[in-house]
Structure 1
Amino acid sequence: MLNLSLLMLERVGIVIILAFLLVNVRLFRRLLFHQNSFNAKVQLILIFAVFAIVSNLTGIEISPQNNLISSVILTGIPQNYSIANTRILAITVAGIVGGPFVGGVVGVVAGIHRVIQGSMTAWFYIPSSALIGILAGLFFQSKTRKNRLVVMTPMQGIVVGLVMELIQMVFILFFSPTGWKLVQFIAVPMVTLNAVGTFIFLSIIQLFLNQEQEARAMQTHDVLELADRTLPYFRAGLNVTSATKVAEIIKRYTNFSAISLTSTNQILAHVGAGSDHHVPNNAMVTRLSEAAIDSNHIKIAHSREEIGCSNPDCPLAAAIVIPLDVDNQVVGTLKMYYTDSYMLTPVEEQLATGLGSIFSSQLALGAAEIQSKLVKDAEIKSLQAQINPHFFFNAINTISAMIRRDSEQARTLLLQLSTYFRANLMGVRQTEITLSQEQEHVDAYLTLEQTRFPDKYEINFDIQTNLKVKLPPFTIQVLVENALKHAFTGRKKGNHVQITVVAVEQRLKIQVADNGNGIAPSRLHRLGKEEVSSEHGSGTALQNLNQRLTGIYGPASALEFKSDTNGTIITTYIPLKEELA
């Protein structure tokens, strides 16, 4: 048994070396983050099937008398001979990483190969290997989280690996010609070493994922810095001067080999590798940029051929092209290049996606500022344009604090902050928006606030009408923000806000109710009509909202207030309108 243990330890070492090499392959790293797609599953099956077959080929031959017969490559064995190998280790990890489908298929492939090695007397390895792969995959399902990759911990892997190998021992016991005698000889070393091998394999993957998380945390911090430094230039619009400054800033804060910004037809700036032929004011020279503009979707290339540069000596070997759009209209692109394709990982792709969203918002801000000077309804627009600077700084501080604790949550909050400000900018340019756009604005605001104050508020939506109906921007958001800021002073729990939107005849009823402390009668009749000072504000937001509603729809749409010690209800009725198709 000792000799078998030592030989098995060698085989486990081979698999672990392969695992270490595997996590350093870009293709496998990408599959870890896109494992739910069918193509990714097929590729994972191919990778782990190779692992399982290698485990069979490097197995240790055992005679019916339990004598060990060692060979370099075990292509076939006589009838009634057995093999001690690490096949179950490969199948178990396949299920843990890829799920039941991947684990089951890899198990079938590994079982069939094991039968081919020996004879049909080993038929039971096919169903046993498939069952083990599926069961390991079910453990995978219980370990996934929305929008986040979570692989089973190495300590959990020991338990799963041990259980899977015990299942294999049960099949051998009942179906092998030398069942009990063989199990006595191989059970302890195979169960122990395969469990340890699963632990080490998952430790290597976990180490890689931890490195990815650290990289994301650092990049999220850099995104905040970039957003702050590029804002003044993007507000000036997309031109050669502003684009050059922005490209230099991005290049300084990232590890990309080159940064380029374009309009829809020409290069505005290019900093880094390839600047000898990617020249500002010249026409775009890559097919990839044209495809991104035409589709208004991010395009990713991992080779020079995919980039499609017209210069045969171009050093750029990988690229991410992000369309920059304002109101769903592409106005240009942000392009990030590497001279070595292996450097382009999912972390860089997610960074680029976040930057594209933020820069599009900044361009929208610049466009909004220009348009705000030209609109005729200047009074309404100026009311809509007010943004609470305290909310912005609180949100930035929240995201900064979250970066080291949960980089994925920080990234989500950053995107929600972008959504919030894009909605504010939309309000500057439009008198009415759809209910779905307003709800998206409110959701972004609530995500940021509830992250600052977890479990403090419970918000319920009751939408009983078409999401394409139209209303003034900020209508619901201002009422919800007012409730959160003023209704629950001194209360940390049990704070409920009910948002109701319903069609009543030819009018849209919008109501926000809370179970807060209520409003003093001396202030209630003044709300919405004038500034009403309190320890948390001046009441300007309600006054502005009321002015916008009555300015657009007339006095019948003025805010209605009801309040007592059980809470406050604010209601408005506006004409029922739908967005034209």
Structure 2
Amino acid sequence: MILTLSINLLERLGLIIMFAFFISRTKFFKNYVLKIKYTFKENIIFAILWGFMGILMTMLGTPVSGGIANSRTIPIVVSGLLGGPVVGAVSGLIAGIHRAFFATGGDLTSISCGISTLLGGIIAGYAKEYIESKDKKWIYGIFVGLVVEILQMIIILIIAKPYYEALKLVKIIFIPMTFLNALGIGLFFLFIQQIIMENENAAALKAQVSLEIANLTLPYFRTGLNELTAEKAANIIKNITKYAAVSITDTEKVLAHIGLGADHHKAGGDIWTNITRKCIETGEIKFAVRKNQIGCENTECSLKSVIVAPLKMNDSVIGVLKIYKNKENAILKSDIELLKGLGNLFSTQIELGNIETQKQLREQAELKALRAQIKPHFLFNSLNAIMSITRTNPEEARRLLQELSIFLRTSFKNSDPFIPIEEEIRYIEAYLSIEKARFPDKLFIEYDIDHNINMMIPPLIFQPLVENAVKHGIRNKNGKGLVKICINKQENLMKFKVEDDGIGMENIEIMNNNSADRGVGLINVISRLKSIYNEELKITTNKNVGTTITFEIPMNGGRL
């Protein structure tokens, strides 16, 4: 008897597996499994569907000693595990009422099976939240199925009368119904697991999409968040993802809105959707699955679902990124993950752009400070030196005034980040001419410069090193001092070298540790060499022998 019953139940199980396979391939069921939140209408539709599946399984059951061996538990438990307590209760109530009052045969267990069917749907519904976080859901589905079937057998023994008839029935149906129905639930969830895996693969593809979008939007967001960059980025997202609409805002107004609803969600207009304000206030991703949850005041608006992700800089919300769909309850988990990823990527791009901007502003300020650090006594001493030879050597005085003019003009002007190398050389020559006039019997200069070079270099990248050799190498030396200036091409590199035979550098360790003791000029040179060319100064020094400083830069430019 048990063997025959098991074969019959296996046949029913085969039907359920075929049903599970075909329904799992439908878009309607896939969306139901993957949605974040269900509408009341969808819950009722699926509750009724599962309830009627339970009725069908009862009708296909096999009468056994006053009971009906059937697979009704499978659709009822599945309904609860997928839809929660309400869906499980409704489907269990539908199938339970049928079993208790309308099923043909099985009068011994009609009431007890009706009650156990309702309880099974409720138990499975409350197990939904726990199972959702698990990977192997089919194993937990089997376990819930076993619990529900065992509970059904206990209720039969408690309610069904006479007791000995109930016990006889339970002995026959316990093993085949309990284990085969639990197995059927597990198999059903294997198909559901396949849907989830396919969605995860789709999410992986969306991750690739987000990276593609990030690469295309990088040139725009690096310049900051404004109407122009927002419009460019929104167009890129809309074209790639095909969402109904894409919108980007700051904390006060809409920066761009591309797609449906652009007639009233206009760029430059104030933010007036409640869900956007909530995202800005909380800094958390928000979504709405119905039109009335969006908070749009336009009754004709065709946008019915939305996800809103915050855009942040230094952990502060500076705007939001939104994607819309034109159907209610159309938000999938993969959509939320995509927007969350894009929000994080765009926030990073904006932060990096801000860092780059601040870096450029700092470098410009440092360069201006370097140009402006002409101390008054240098100017006074230079003028005094020129005045002293005005009567004895007017031509030399005129030449030195020209050199001082070149020096001052170059110091005060706001040049571009790169200048022709001949401008830097001319600036050095003007500076050394003035210093030579001040110390004619102490300072001697030798040049080894290739003037047939056409390349661009950062301004003041070499002159501060020459000035350091004069000030700290030669002036403090007893007797004469020599400074050699070398600028020559070596293959694809331009080599710069300044060499003096002065007192040497006792604080070379301080030089290499980026200390403020070196002065603004040297700090700036080292910093810019590193950031632009990834090059460092090479320093050789010996006490009372002299110092040599060299560096090389590529002829074809640096990192910028």
Q: Which one has a bigger Cα radius of gyration?
A: 2
TM-score normalized by structure 2? 0.50
Q: Scaled by the length of structure 1, what TM-score is found?
A: 0.48
